[in-house]
Amino acid sequence: MDGRHEQKTFTQIMLMCLGFFGIQFGWALQMGNMSAIYSRLGASESQIPLLWLAAPVTGLLVQPLVGYFSDRTWCRLGRRRPYFLGGAIFSTIALFLMPQASAIWMAVIALWILDTSVNVSMEPFRAFVGDILPENQRKTGYAMQSVMIGAGAVIASFLPQILASVGVSTEAPLGHIPDTVKYSFYTGAIVLMVAILATVKSTPEYPPADMEEFRKLQKQTTSISKTLSEMWQAMTTMPSTMRRLAVVQFFTWAAFMIMWVYFTPGIASGVFHATPGTEAYEVAANWGSSCFGIYNGVAFGFAFALLWLTTKFSAKYIHIVCLIIGGLGLGSLGLTLFGVEFSKMGLVIPMVCIGIAWSSILSMPYALLSNALPAEKMGFYMGVFNFFIVIPQICVNLLFGPVMKHLLGGSAIAAVGVGGLSLLVAAFFTFFVQDNTIKKQA
């Protein structure tokens, strides 16, 4: 009896997901600071979206390969844990290197290393839950991942401000990174490594049920052409639940990419009525950063509610309701185009709505997907599923500019409103996803 079908305790589930806290800590530092780092190193605003392409392109290339090979890995550390640890080591190095960059090309290289390494660690974590937990606990496992993601994002998002409040310098000449950002990245490097090590040490993996058959499967990966052929075949025969979730994910992540790019300039013009270069614009920019911290904080808090909700309701209908709430919250900001005024504090309510949606986005699609996948291809399909996260981000970065120019009149707040509509479209398509999750009876 190896325990693979045993019910896990709350503490065991928490420890197996702790590594995600560290991964998200490093990821949030990147999300919150990379644009400012690029700007300080001399990048223009028009260059920044292209410099950001490192994240989605890296995920597009790395995650399916890592998933595929982790499905076929078994060693002393297990199946997924070697990838957690390897990715963590290089992520730690990149987090130490990033604030030392003194030129754009140096920051770009550090970002590629960081994104590649984080993706190597992150992708197997999704399959890890499917490997370790019995089916009726997977919703809880992914909800716990959402808790860890929220906690890491909130602390990392506010860390530079916390350091500034205790006297760490926020000033630096052009071409240099302020100490608040440097020490935040150094802290993130340590947190990421410690969290990953805690998961690796505390959570054992179980060997394949049929080791002889598994060894045959391993030998099949020695031919690159055969590997690529098998990957293509698996992609073209993906389960119907995954195909339908792909549509949901496309509209979901397009919405959030739009928000990440246009929210701050949108509220600066639409709520604060400020233009770049003015003091009011700097106030708006700082408040925009705080708004991101608010929605991440709400996502963290709501993840605890998800832990309870998953014992009472279907993952499918939880996700539909959360997407509708998020879509209405984000879309409401577009009402400024019709004369509706938001106060500074009035932005909190939309952020709460977005945080509720974000908490569900980070967990419920994976709960829906994991029970529809064959166990022997769990890692690979989780990696392919990442396509439907990064492709919409790439599309927004490359194609939304002409939409802004020709259809939205250059209005960033209108773009934010479009993001809200995209979340509502995602909620609509969720109705067509088959829910194979096992409902735990109250």
pLDDT at 1 (0 to 100): 45
Query: What torsion do the CA atoms of 154, 160, 165, 170 make, to the nearest 10 degrees?
Result: -160
Is residue 46's pLDDT more than 60? no
Above 50 in pLDDT, residue 11?
yes
pLDDT reported for residue 190: 95
Those residues whose C-beta lies under 8 Å from the C-beta of residue 284, and which sit 6 or more positions away, are: 264, 267, 268, 271, 272, 274
Establish if 37 belongs to a structural domain: yes
Quick check: is 226 in a domain?
A: no
314: left (phi over 0), alpha (psi -120 to 50) or beta: beta
Please provide residue 75's backbone torsions phi and psi, each rounded to the nearest 5 degrees. -150, -165
Q: Quote the crossing angle between the two packed helices 10-40 and 279-309, to the nearest 10°.
A: 160
Structure tokens at 305: 């509610």
Are residues 244 and 198 both part of a single domain?
no
Q: Which residues contact 76 (CB under 8 A, 6 or more apart)?
A: none
Same domain (yes/no): 187, 251: no
Burial class from Cβ neighbours inside 10 Å (0-12, 13-18, 19+) for residue 19 reads: buried
Is 212 among the domain residues?
A: no
Q: What is the pLDDT of residues 205-247, one digit of tens each?
A: 877 776 777 777 666 665 556 666 766 777 777 888 888 999 9
One domain for residues 148 and 3: yes
Number of other residues whose CB lies within 10 A of the CB of residue 415 = 24
Across the range 31-48, mean pLDDT stands at 70
Same domain, residue pair 195 and 343:
no
Exposed, middle or buried, 105 (CB in 10 Å: 0-12/13-18/19+)? exposed
Residue 441 has pLDDT above 50, yes or no: no
Residue 233 included in any domain: no
Compute how many other C-beta atoms are within 10 angstroms of the C-beta atom of residue 1: 5
Residues of the chain with pLDDT > 70, as a percent, come to 86
List C-alpha distances in Å: 48 to 268, 305, 327.
19, 37, 26
Q: How many domains does the chain have?
A: 2
CA 382, 244, 392, 427 dihedral sign is: negative
Q: Are residues 127 and 173 in the same domain?
A: yes
Report H helices in 220-276: 224-236, 240-270
pLDDT at 101: 84
Query: Based on the domain organization, do 150 and 274 belong to the same domain?
Result: no
Task: State whether 177 and 297 are in the same domain.
Answer: no
Q: What angle do CA 359, 438, 250 make, to 5 degrees?
A: 40
As a residue count, the chain comes to 442
Distant-in-sequence, close-in-space partners of 409: CB < 8 Å, separation ≥ 6: none
Question: For the chain, what is the total number of helices (H) and then of strands (E)?
Answer: 17, 0
Over range 404-425, report the average pLDDT.
88
Averaged over 159-184, what is the pLDDT?
80
**The dihedral of CA 36, 38, 43, 46: what is its sign?**
negative
Least confidently predicted of 52-56, 328-332, 392-396 = 52-56
Query: Are residues 263 and 355 both part of a single domain?
Result: yes
Q: Are residues 309 and 360 in the same domain?
A: yes
Q: What is the spatial distance between Cα 126 and Cα 298, in angstroms, rounded to a whole number?
A: 22
Range of the domain at 93: 1-206
Tell whether the model's pLDDT for residue 135 goes beyond 70: yes
Compute the average pLDDT of residues 389-414.
82
pLDDT of residue 106 exceeding 80: yes
Which of 18-27, 172-181, 385-394 has the largest mean confidence? 18-27
Token representation of residue 430: 């969720």
Strand, helix or coil for residue 78: strand
**For range 372-382, the mean pLDDT:** 74
The yes-or-no verdict on residue 437 having pLDDT over 60 is no
Task: Categorize the per-residue pLDDT at 186 as very low, low, confident or very high, splitting at 50, 70 and 90.
Answer: very high
Position 384 pLDDT exceeds 80: no
CATH of the domain at 318: 1.20.1250.20
Same domain? 297 vs 441: yes
pLDDT at 369: 86
> Do 403 and 261 belong together in one domain?
yes
Q: What is the CA radius of gyration of the chain?
A: 21
3-state secondary structure of 75: strand
Residue 24 in any domain: the answer is yes
**Across 44-58, 225-239, 261-275, 302-316, which has the greatest mean pLDDT?**
302-316
The pLDDT value given to residue 133: 84
Higher-scoring residue by pLDDT: 113, 61: 113
Residue 221 forms part of a structural domain? no
Mean pLDDT lowest for which of 283-287, 382-386, 388-392? 283-287
51 belongs to a structural domain: yes
0.85 exceeded by pTM: no
**Residue 214 located in a structural domain:** no
State whether 195 and 249 are in the same domain.
no
DSSP code of residue 210:
S
Distance between CA 442 and CA 437 in Å, rounded? Answer: 15
pLDDT tens, position by position, 336-373: 776 677 777 888 999 999 999 999 998 889 888 877 87
Q: pLDDT tens digits for 64-101?
A: 777 777 777 888 888 888 898 899 999 999 999 988 88
- Which tokens is 317 given? 């209908």
